Chains A and B, each alone.
Chain A
Amino acid sequence: MMSSINWYKYSSPATFYGLAGKMIPWFYGAAALFCVAGLYIGLFLAPTDFQQSDAYRIIFIHVPASWMSMLIYVVMAFWAALGLAFNTRLSFMMASALAPTGAMLTFVSLWTGALWGKPTWGAWWVWDARLTSELILFFLYLGFMALQAAIDDPRRADRAGALIALVGVVNVPIIYFSVRWWNTLHQGASVSMTKAPSMATIMLVGMLVMALAAWMYAIAAALSRARSIILEREKNSQWVAQMVEAEA
């Protein structure tokens, strides 16, 4: 029965700290497993593409990273909204714990995109709508983290960060569509990535498995970062003192 679980219990940092500690190895394990399987499918089972030869194989890193970079921003905004609505400290902590992972994956997506672009398009960077909006997403992550880093009072940092995350998530669709129209209006699209490429099933499977790996990794990384944040914030509380004593 779902209703028999007391969800509120886990919104307390002390209980969440223990729960997250138990969950992290599983998520890291799943990430490693999916990663090995996905890379095996991607590098050994998937056939060479007749147009892009082996260069396309970067898709197995690139696409999962891009998907996760966007998803994490939405999840971050979700926790931020939850924190502002219910005033739960843990929600804010989750939002700040997710941001570095999201920014890192955005960077990976941009970087691998450049590596992929050079052999296939002949340019490291084109001002394609998707590339540009991914770059702007990276800026949004940076803004969130910079704002939180600049505020010393954790309560204000939490709330200010949450507000800017929400403002950002409202703006993301507007930015995305404006960039898309900008691109189609300014220059005849030299490179179109919007046509869904017909992809062999095995490539798709490899990509999805890698996406699962990225997902598991993101959860594990965010949880372990949340644990660090909890320890930092609660360092003067009794349960931390008892835990340290017990471990010593």
Chain B
Amino acid sequence: MSTLQIVFVLLRRELMLAMRRRGDVLTVLFFFVIVASLFPLGVGPDPKLLRLMGGGVVWVAALLAAMLSLGRMFASDYADGTLEQLVLTPTPPVVWITGKILAHWLVSGVPLILVAPVLGVQFGLSNEALGVLVLSLLLGTPVLSLIGAIGAALTLGLRGGGVLVSLLVLPLYIPVLIFGAGAVDGAMSGLGSEAHLSLLGSILILSFMLTPWAVSAALRISIE
């Protein structure tokens, strides 16, 4: 099978598994919505304040939701031995790891992007800012899945893995948060968001090239 075919087969399998366990996907999505809804309750309903915070709040909620879903990336495959079988196949680990990360993004990143405009409207973002929010999430959430995969692979099978992942991964998410929320902010204030979006894009390309290798090394450490 060619490399693309392998990625495709893996994607199909992951998506099918996700469809069978729809609850997991929905839990993360509702978590995202609930976290974003908590902020107005916490800081008060002042529309001016909420408009200022909107982009940042949606982005922080996306970060937390993406982190929450990391546990699923390798854990069940590790538990039932699939991961070991994958390691034993002649396919280079980087290939199927990329496929798994892509699947993770499709299952837990894309739903967030689809719901985000609704949350943005609740915070009173302008139409232009809503577009930028979606665009920034489109560029940023794959990075969350990519970097998160390193944390997920390193904490495989550890007790307290979930909390540990947050400690490892959240500091590394900071640049994505800054540029993602900054892009929305730029659109709202009229300063423009191109610079932030370009930086997000470059982070995406960089992490797409480097992280599968780091994940492969991490999995080797965790499995042996």
Contacts and interface: CB of A to CB of B under 8 A. Distances in A.
Interface stretch (A64-72, A177-185, A226-234): A177-185
A142 B182 CA distance: 27
A59 to B, nearest CB: 27
A186 B160 contact: no
B168 A143 contact: yes
A184 to B, nearest CB: 11
Interface stretch (B6-14, B74-82, B169-177): B169-177
Interface string A121-146: 00000000000000010011011001
Contacts of B175: 171, 174-175, 178
B214 interface: yes
Interface of B: 150, 154-155, 158-161, 164, 167-168, 170-172, 174-175, 178-179, 182, 185-186, 191, 199, 203, 210, 214, 217-218, 221-222, 224
The interface residues of chain B, by DSSP majority, are classed as helix
The interface residues of chain A, by DSSP majority, are classed as helix
A163 interface: yes
A160 interface: yes
Interface of A: 84, 136, 139-140, 142-143, 146-147, 150-151, 156, 159-160, 163-164, 166-168, 170-171, 174-175, 178-179, 181-182, 185-186
B182 to A, nearest CB: 6
A26 B40 CA distance: 58
Given A164-B168, A185-B186, 14 more contacts: A136-B171, A139-B167, A139-B170, A150-B159, A156-B221, A160-B218, A160-B221, A166-B214, A168-B171, A174-B203, A175-B171, A178-B175, A185-B185, A185-B191
Nearest to B166: A143
Contact of B171 (A139, A166, A181): A139
A41 to B, nearest CB: 36
27 contacts: A139-B170, A140-B171, A143-B167, A146-B164, A146-B168, A147-B155, A156-B222, A160-B154, A160-B222, A163-B154, A163-B218, A164-B150, A164-B168, A167-B172, A167-B214, A168-B171, A175-B171, A175-B174, A178-B178, A178-B199, A179-B174, A179-B178, A182-B178, A182-B182, A185-B182, A185-B191, A186-B182
Contacts of B155: 147, 150
B167 A171 contact: no
